[in-house]
A and B are shown apart, each in its own frame.
Chain A
Amino acid sequence: MNKVITIHLNGVAFQLEEGGFDALRAYLDTAARRLGGNPDKDEILADIEQAIADKFRSLLGASKTVIITKEATDIIESMGPVDDSSGSPEDARPSAGPTAASAQPGSAAAPGAVPNAPKRLYKIREGSKIGGVCNGIAAYLNADVTIVRIAFALFGFVYGSGILIYLLLMFVLPEASTPEEMDEAHGTPSATAQEFIRRAREGYYEGMKSFGDRRAHREWRRKFKRDMRNWGREMQRDVRTNWGRQWHWNWPGSHPPGAYPPPPPAYHTHGFINLLLSLISIFFVIAIISFVTTGGILGVYFPGMPIWLGILLIIAVVKIVKWPLRAMRGSYYYGDSWHCWNPFGFIWHALMWVFLVYAVIWLFGGHVAGMHEIGQHLPHKIHSAAESIRDWWNSL
């Protein structure tokens, strides 16, 4: 007992076993595709359908009303592959029976490999420590950003090469500021027009498989439309949840009301943090002046410490103190882990600063001949400048 499918060929109904129906559909699909560019495509297909219908009819009689699979495949084989080159005898090409014909739609349905999402190296500001270079590289390599930072720091020890490369990349790399650029930086095939087109095309090929069977075709069209609609919604949601923050970060005034968390209820706390940060900044200026003029801060003296190293250490200490406060302020706004205080972040930040400034001084002092002189005399000059400032301070 086998399932029977009723079809019509040029207006005459026939009953086929399911296997025969599949073979016939595959054959006609292949024929339609091979005749793709032929101006008489429809006519030729109608002729072929007619020829098949004639053959079917010759098999049927009063006591036989169904065409079994074997008969259908035999007839298809006798038709031979539809060949749009100026016409070749049957053995011009290896006999492509129904097996070859049915294999072909499958290969056409997979439109090559899924194209890789384009990937580019960007600077990523969000969650960055200095310029976002490490962040961008981590996104590009799909690696943990901490590993990239450690690698850069280690290379910093090798004649400062890591720092040099970092500076270079900071200047050269573009910054990822739009969602599309962020997608490119991460190489994620998400909400891009290309992906949309790719999916549409895939769906189209699926639909081509049901060519010749109106009911299947109609069903495919309904499903295809629904899929595309759903996917569009999904894409929008994706953009809102993932990149809303990014948009907000870059264009604080651009977000629609209600789309993002309202200002924190503890707004005064936020104000308090701001006050603290300003106080630290003032302290920073005072400390620098104090160190340069008196050689000490708040009555604590550091004998023998070069003045440039002292300045660097002050910068580092201030950065370390400021970091958690900044992070707290950020977390009020964005209420997520991204901007929360990262226990290692500020250490990295400070270390990077020290490395960076040290390397610049080292490179200038050690490698550029003219700079060597200046480098050697610079501390002395700073000292003498500091001396004159101190004299001026004392004379007040």
Chain B
Amino acid sequence: MIINEKFSAIRKGLLEFLVLKIVSGDKVYVADIMGQLSGTEFATQEGTLYPLLSKMRREELVDYEWKESEAGPPRKYYKLTAKGQEQLKETDDYWQKISETVKSLGRNPAS
């Protein structure tokens, strides 16, 4: 499906934004992030998510702490840093602007 290919670039660009959003809500570990994304267009696999999270941690947007889990070894729980909060806000604002621009330009196909 060709149109889907085009969308994948959009999704790719937005994934970091969405991860920031998910992490901002609560301390989460990777399975939580995946669970929240799974039902959406942004369903993601570990193979993608782990490298992305490690990159975001290098950029000091997120940080993690080890927490014991009731079953199995301790898990990494991610949370936003101050810098991450800031970027989330900026991206959120930018996203609002973009969607307004999209709405205001041309004819609205839905109407």
Contact = CB atoms under 8 A, between A and B. Distances in A.
B51 interface: yes
B12 A48 contact: no
A31 B57 CA distance: 19
B67 interface: no
B11 A84 contact: no
A92 B7 CA distance: 9
Interface in B32-59: 41-52, 54-55, 57-58
B28 interface: no
Contacts of B49: 87
B99 interface: no
B73 interface: yes
Interface stretch (A49-57, A115-123, A204-212): A49-57
A213 interface: no
A169 interface: no
A79 B8 CA distance: 18
Contacts, number: 95
Nearest to A96: B47
Given A39-B58, A88-B15, A92-B11, A57 B72 contact: yes
Contacts of B57: 40
A90 B4 CA distance: 12
Contacts of B9: 92
Interface in B1-43: 4, 8-9, 11-12, 15-16, 19, 30-31, 41-43
B51 A84 contact: yes
A80 B47 contact: yes
Contacts of A40: 54-55, 57-58
Contacts of B51: 35, 38, 44, 82-84, 87
Given A47-B30, A87-B16, A79 B45 contact: yes
Given A43-B54, A51-B30, A91 B45 contact: no
Contacts of A89: 8, 11-12, 15, 41-44, 48
A80 B46 CA distance: 6
Nearest to B74: A50
B2 to A, nearest CB: 13
Nearest to A41: B54
A87 B15 contact: yes
B58 A51 contact: no
Contacts of A31: 47
19 contacts: A10-B73, A40-B58, A47-B46, A51-B31, A54-B31, A79-B45, A80-B47, A81-B47, A82-B48, A83-B47, A86-B16, A88-B11, A88-B12, A89-B8, A89-B11, A89-B41, A90-B44, A91-B8, A92-B48
Interface of A: 10-12, 31, 35, 38-40, 43-44, 47-48, 50-51, 53-54, 57, 78-84, 86-92
Interface of B: 4, 8-9, 11-12, 15-16, 19, 30-31, 41-52, 54-55, 57-58, 71-73, 76
9 A-B pairs closest in CB distance: A80-B45, A87-B52, A80-B47, A40-B54, A82-B47, A88-B12, A89-B11, A92-B8, A47-B50
